[in-house]
Every structure is written in C-alpha cells, then in structure tokens.
Structure 1
Amino acid sequence: MNNTMDNALYIRHLETLLQRYRIASSQFQLDTIVIGAGSLSHYFEDDNAHPFKPFAAAQQWLPFTLPAGSFIVIKQDKPELIWPAQQDFWHMANAIPEGEWQSHWRITPVNDDSWTQSLSSNSAFIGPDAIGSLTHHHGLMTWLNYDRAIKTDYEIACLETANQIAAKGHIAAQQAFLSGASELQTHLAYLDATQQDAISTPYPNIVGINEHAAVLHYEQKSSQRPFRPLTLLVDAGASHHGYASDITRTTTTLNDEFSALLDDMDILQQSIANQAVAGVAFVELHQKTLHGVAHLLKQHDICSLSIEEQLAKQIPHHFYPHGLGHFLGLQVHDVGGRQLDATGTLQNPPAGSPFLRLTRDLVPNMVITVEPGLYFIPMLLEKLKAQQPKHGCNINKIDRLTPYGGIRIEDNIVVDIEGIRNLTRDAFATLS
C-alpha cells in the first residue's frame, strides 16, 4: 500500500471516528471527550517499568504508537493531540512523528498538566488514569466499544499488514522446528523473522512442542528440545500501528494418525471460516464447529458414539474446550464481543460453551478469528472418564495421541456480505 492510499484511508478513518464521537457527545450531552493513552507503571518495590501499551481507544486515533502521557482531546472542531514533551537525561525524548497526519490535528506539546485547566465542566474522560476530578466514564466507553467492532478500511489495512508480518514469523518458526530447534530457539526465529522484540508482540508468543501444545496459554519456552519431537503449536502475532494479528499453526514431523487428524482439522477450519459471512450468528458457527469436532472424533476412531450422542453428552467439549474465536483489532481479544447494543446489553454464551467470547451476529467489516482446536488434555480427559462412564472413547488411541498435545488452526477473517476475506491465508499465499 503506497503512502497516498495509506493517507487517504487514514483520513477517512479519522472522519469516521469523529462522527462516532460526535454522536456519543450528543448522547451524553458533552462538549469535550478526553482520551488518555495511560502512564508508565512499575513493578512492585522497583524502579523498573512494565512494558507500556497505550490504551486502545487512544491508539485508535493515530497511525503510530502513542507514548505514555499522551492524550486525545475531541471537541466539535479539529482533534487535539496532547504530546508529552518532558525531558530528562535518563530517557529518549518523545519525537513527534512527521507525516501528512499532522495537517488534520492540533498538536500541543506539554511539560505538565496545566492544559487540563481549560477543560469545561461538561467534559468526560476515558482512560486508565484520572485527570483532575475526571475519572473513567464507563457508560461512554461502553457506547464507543460497540462501534469498534466495525472496522474502517484503514483498520483492515493495518490488520492485513500485521498478518503479513506474522506469516513470515510462522514460516520461520516451522522451518526452525523442523531443523532441530527447541521452543526457545523457535520463538527467537519467529521474532527475528518478524523484526519484533518480545515486548512488541501483541501477546506473549505460545510456542509448544509435544504435550505443551495442549496447554492453551502455554507461555514458557524450553531451551531443551525433546528427545522425540512430534508436534509444534505456534500461536503468535504481530502489531502494526497498534493493530494485532493472531495466528495459530500446528506442525507435525510424522506422516501418521495424528497428521491425518491435523489434515482433517484444517479442512474443518477452512469450512467454518468460509461460513463467517454477514447475517450469520457466531454462536451458530461455534455449534457447527462442535458438530465438526464430534465428526472428527468418530471418523478417527477416537469416540465410537454417534455425533448426536456425543453432543448430548458434551464429549467434544472435553477435546475442544474454548470458543471458536473473537473480535480482533487494537486488542487481541477486541471489545464488544458479547455486546448487543451501544448501551451495553449483553448476550451470554451457551451454557455448554462458557468461554465463547463472541456472541453477536456478524456484519460487514467485522474482523474475527476462527480457531477450532482438538486437544488431548489429561485433566479434561480424566474428568470425562469420571463423569461419563459410557463415553465411548478409545482410551488406547487417546493414550497414543496424548504425547502429540493437540491441534489449533487460527485465521483472521474480514466479514463481508457474500463471502469472507481471509487475511491470514492471503498472507501465507504471498510468501509461497
């Protein structure tokens, strides 16, 4: 994407945000909305700061990463960027990025908080820190979160770039693993290929070999490669202007019964992803995925029960315990997934799937993840055997497959009216 197109997308994005905030201002009878990026925080009893990540509602406004201590001020005219200009000899000064974006903003460098004195009493604040007497306005935030589910063309372009960066990392990680790398070495290969520091990734990389692939949020990275490496699961993304990709790939070293299961899971994943079109209820897609997992369990002689009986006894839930996916954007688990309207009415997930993060019907320009899985998690399998004596599961085969850990395949999808745009598969295709 060239700079001219990038600038045009950003200008339209800015206009959309201004329109959304003007409607919100009218709804809550405000003349000013202030958004804080947040401030540095420190480890307990230490002068070492946590890695800083700007508050998403502030980051949404600008095409570069906001520093700590910056604020966005929205009135009826041109938006204002309050820029922290304090200097000390310990840290690098925050240089204001150059670019066409500046012509659409008032930029106010500040050394203290005296700028807040000009705020009227009819102002609202959203963000992690208070400004004087103004604290986070939860009702306003809820209202704005609802619209964040619909991405602008600029936001989709950022998510596309984040997928392109991450795809390079996933290819490098797979090659490293197949060449003999440990989890840590595979993780480092991913970071090198994406040119990210570990603190710059949108979430801690999950790099699990063998049984570690069955730990859904496995964050350790062993420096010792197992004697018999069977499986690699990498769940990792990249950031671009604050927008995150969230991709998972599973690799196996053998051509055996697990690789056959992996191939069929990939077919199921693509089938479900292609059904994520406007008008579809995401809850129904999740239920179809449970049906698909039940089919795989029967097809691969893991469970002998019929699909209907498996679902009645919630057998698939023990192999696939998480939800199908979630919104994706400035946050990996982006906001508003269960929110049915701007006032905050919620739709809870089905009783059997409490971890499903997205319960809304799909509309164009939502960006979601589609990430079915099938795992051999000892804790859940023991629970299944204890609670369902007539589970119909092939324990011998499960014992053979447990050392492989499990499977997750995750793509990032743009919802459209008659189809979908798979940002992840498109990114891999450009590298093949």
Structure 2
Amino acid sequence: MSDLYADHYARLLAHYESLLEAGGWRGVMISSGSPVAVFGDDQAYPFRVNPRFRQWIPEGEYSQSFLIIGDGERPRFVCHLPEDYWHSVAAAPSGFWAEHFRVECVPGPEEADRLVPAETRDYAFLGDPEDCPAGVSPDGVNPAQLVHALDFHRAYKHEYEVECIRRANRSAAAGHLAARDAFESGASELEIHLAFLQATGQLERQLPYFNIVALNGHGAILHYDALESRSPPRVRSLLIDAGACHLGYAADITRTWAHAEDSFAELIGMLDAAQRRLTARIRPGMTFVELHRQMHFLIGEVLADSGLVAMSPEAMVEEGVTAAFFPHGLGHHLGLQVHDVGGKLADRLGTPLKQPEAYPFLRNLRPVEAGNVFTVEPGLYFIPQLLEALRGRPCGRQVNWKAVDALREYGGVRIEDNVHVYGDGVENLTRAALAEAPKAGGSQSQGSA
C-alpha cells in the first residue's frame, strides 16, 4: 500500500493546495474530532474520526488531534496521545503513511491547541465547530466554497482508495458467508450478527454502519436494527445488509438467502439476475438516474415473470406499481462514508442537482464517471403499508394478491454490490470478493454470490 498511498497523498495535497490558493486561504486545519458525552452520563458515544481527517491519516483513533496544511510546507500532524491508564490509547503514528507528515505528539488537547498557527484568521477549519481553535474567522469554519469542492471531488477515487474499498469488500465477504452459514444452522438474528463480526474481525463500532440482520418478515423494514436473540419458530429467509472497513474506507454489501428451495428462492435468483444485467450495462457517460429508471423496468420484468403482477413492465413503471415493491434508491457513492458525500452536486461550486420527483429517495444524481465507486442495490419487498396502498388503486386489480400475501412472511429481497467504474466498464468489487472467499460450511444454492 505504500506506493499507492504516496500517490494518493501527492494528489490530495495538490488538490488541497489549489483549493486553498483559489479561496485565498493561507492554510487549513482539519480536526480529527472529539468524543461526545452522553447527556447526564460520564460515558461518551463511540468515537468516529472526521472523514476529512481520515482521508489523510488512515490508521488510529486519534481524537482531539489536528492536521495542518499550508504555507508550502509539509503537512503537520499534531497528534494527541494522552497519558492515560483508564483507557486504551492509540499507538504513536508509524508505518507507510506517517513519513509524509511532520508528526508532533502531545499529551493533552491544551498542548495541541498551542501548536496550531499563531495567526489563524487566514486559515480555514474543517471539522466540528466545537473543536475549532480560537482566532479562526467565522467565515473560515467549514467554508462553503471549500467544502463543496472537496465533497464534489470525493466521487473520484484514487487507486489507493479503490484498493481500500476492495479490501473492505474482502473482509465483508467473509462475514457474509459466515452469516449465511449461521442462518442455515438456525441461528437467531443476534447470533448471525455475532458470526459476521467474528469472521470480519471487527467490532460494532469499527463497522461503517450498524448491521441489518433481518429474518423472515423483518426484511420488509428497510433499516431494521432490532437483532432478536431468539430464532422464530419457522425460519424462512434472511436479508443481511452488512459492511466492513479497511483504513477508513467502507464496503456495503447486501445478500438475501432462502431457507428452502421455494418460490421466494426463485425470486432471489430472478432479482439477482436482473441486478447482474443492470450492472453489466454501466458505462461512463450514463446518468445514475437513468440506471435507477432502468432498474424499475427490470423489477417490472421480475414481477411479471414471477406471476405477481399481470401488467407489462412499462405499464408497471408508468402506474407506479414497481415503486410499491422497490421504494428506495438504486445506490449511492461509497468511500470514507458509507453514503459518501457529493452525490447530489452538479459541480465543485455546490450547485445542487434537481431531485427527480418520481425518485425522492435516490441519493446519487451524478453522471457515471471513471473513478466512481458506488453501490447497485435493487430490492423487491413486501411492505404492508405500500401493499395496502397499492391494493386500493385500480392497478391493484392486476396484482396476484394470493401470491403476494404468501410472500409477506419473507419480508423482501435486496442484492447489493459495490462497483468501481473505470475507462470503459466496471469492476464488481463485491462479486470478486465473494468468489475469492473460502466457501467452507455452506452452499450458495439458496442465495446469491
């Protein structure tokens, strides 16, 4: 990773320096962030490093630290390493990335504050305003011009960043296969979640988001997070949306498994095939909005071919039938954050892209471009509120309600891959990771790889 990081560092530094010059800033201070106390308690919420800081400093949970860039000098890393015997303390910076910084370790935040530039009014600050050193101009705290440009640029991943996401996918793939094996053995949602953690070697607080582990009808709750400790009397299906991190970069994978070779297992296979077809179409120059629309037509084909709706795919999309079964967006940018920033920006100035009225929940409105990494995650769900609304409409008479009602207890299907766009096509990071992962302990006949 050393050479890849060196290239990433050089590109990132050049980008920052050009933005600082354009904005008339002498430099920028990037805060790592500080722990946030639980109200009325002496504990803090799990600490997460500021993503802008993590883009430069790939390892260590360094709180109350600063990165200082500017004046044409090598960036300074003011690293807070408390002398603490109550809690674990991050190791002193070392390894392939540390040599690129002037590292100054201090035992307390007060010492860190004394190392920030004396004349801070000419510096921008990126981070929680609560962590901003004294003297920074109010206009310099997260200045919109700088923030918009950085957010817009995050959609273009350096090869180092792609490699981090690739490795995060490998970790998450191991977790998903362990979760599948636990499901096939009759495990509860909590037990499946713990099997995922064990296989990835990551703690909950290290994951990019809290795992969605949904048995049976719970799969119809899009962001289900209850994790029941007991298995249901009859286990039918598992929808698991779970990721992992590598050096701060996220993987975001969803798979759905059936407990038996039944009509729901067939539906999983059909949606998986449709997702593969759409992914194969992705090329630079397309718009993500158009991909989302194409997925609705493919969902319509699945609904028609499975006998759930007696309409053409075109009529289903026009009448909003597919939206009742597929209510969320097709995907989002992925990187330092699981829902990476910049997906609704038209340019580096922060001009917003118009949200399509038909797709209010679509997070990515940008054109597809080389260097992008995003998710492709169609779903087909049996959500009671949406189905009841559909039943009351004229087009609801074309729905095979007997078949639909029989599938409600399965919740729904979602298949999610992470894809990297390059010059003339895409690299499916998730399918590659699953293909490389050990398959011991289970078969793949009841789900999707």
Q: TM-score range by the shorter chain?
A: over 0.9
The partner residue of 2:375 within 369, 372, 391 is 369
Q: Cα offset for 1:39?
A: 0.4
1:193-342 → structure 2 map (5 Å cutoff): 193-342=199-348
Tell me if 1:147 matches 2:153: yes
Report SS of the residue matched to 1:116: coil
Q: What count of residue pairs does the alignment treat as equivalent?
A: 427
**Aligned with 1:52 (options 47, 50, 60):** 47
Paired with 1:303 and 1:94, the residues of 2 have a C-alpha distance of: 56
Cα distance in 1 between the residues matched to 2:370 and 2:395:
45
Contact in 2 for aligned 1:37/1:54 (Cα 8 Å) = yes
Contact 2:60/2:91, CA 8 A, preserved across alignment: no
* Distance 1:389-1:269 versus aligned 2 partners, 3 A rule: closer
Counterpart in the other structure of 1:85:
81
Structure-1 separation of matches of 2:245 and 2:396: 47
Match of 1:353 among 359, 366, 391: 359
Out of 365-374 and 135-144, give the one that drifted further.
135-144
Report what 1:43 is aligned to.
38
Question: Partner of 1:30 in structure 2?
Answer: 25
Between the aligned partners of 1:191 and 1:390, the Cα distance in structure 2 is 42
* Aligned-partner Cα distance in 2 for 1:306–1:287: 15
Structure 2 CA distance for partners of 1:366 and 1:391, relative to 1, 3 Å: farther
In the TM superposition, what whole-angstrom CA distance separates every residue of 1:251-300 from its partner, at most 9, and x where no partner exists? 00111211111101000111111222211111110000001111111111
SS of alignment partner, residue 273 of structure 1: helix
- Encode CA deviations 1:41-88: one digit per residue, 9 max, x unaligned: 011101111001111011000231341111111112211111013323
Deviations 1:162-214 (A, max 9, x none): 00000000000000010110111111111001111111111000000000011
Where 2:171 maps in the other structure, the secondary structure is helix
1:401 to 399, 404, 407: 407
SS of the residue aligned with 1:224? coil
CA contact (8 A) 2:60 2:90 kept: no
1:130 has 2:132 as partner: yes
Taking structure 2 as the reference length, the TM-score comes to: 0.93
Q: Which residue is equivalent to 1:3?
A: none
Q: Tell me which moved more, 12-21 or 391-400.
A: 391-400
Q: CA deviation at 1:390?
A: 4.6
8 Å CA contact retained: 1:315, 1:391: no
Aligned equivalent of 1:116? 116
Superposed CA deviations along residues 117-164 of structure 1, whole A, max 9, x for unmatched, are 524421100101322143332331111111111000110110011000
Shift of residue 389, structure 1, vs aligned partner: 5.5
Aligned partners of 1:384 and 1:391 also within 8 Å: no
Contact 1:65 1:241 in 2 (8 A): no
- Aligned CA-pair RMSD: 1.3
Deviation at 1:233, TM superposition (A): 0.6
| 8 Å CA contact retained: 2:29, 2:66 | yes
**Residues 209 and 232 in structure 1, CA contact (< 8 A), matched pair in contact too:** yes
Q: Which runs of 4+ in 1 moved over 3 A?
A: 387-391
* TM-score under structure 1 length normalisation: 0.96
Q: 2:11 aligns with which of 9, 13, 16?
A: 16
Q: Which residue of 1 aligns with 2:388?
A: 382
Distance verdict in 2 for CA 1:227–1:74, change over 3 Å = same
The residue type paired with residue 133 of structure 2 is I
Which 5+ residue runs of structure 2 have no aligned equivalent?
440-449
Structure 1 residue aligned with 2:65:
70
Candidates 91, 103, 106, aligned match of 1:107: 103
Unaligned runs of 5+ in 1: 1-5
Percent identical pairs in the alignment equals 40
Residue 444 of structure 2 is matched in structure 1 by none
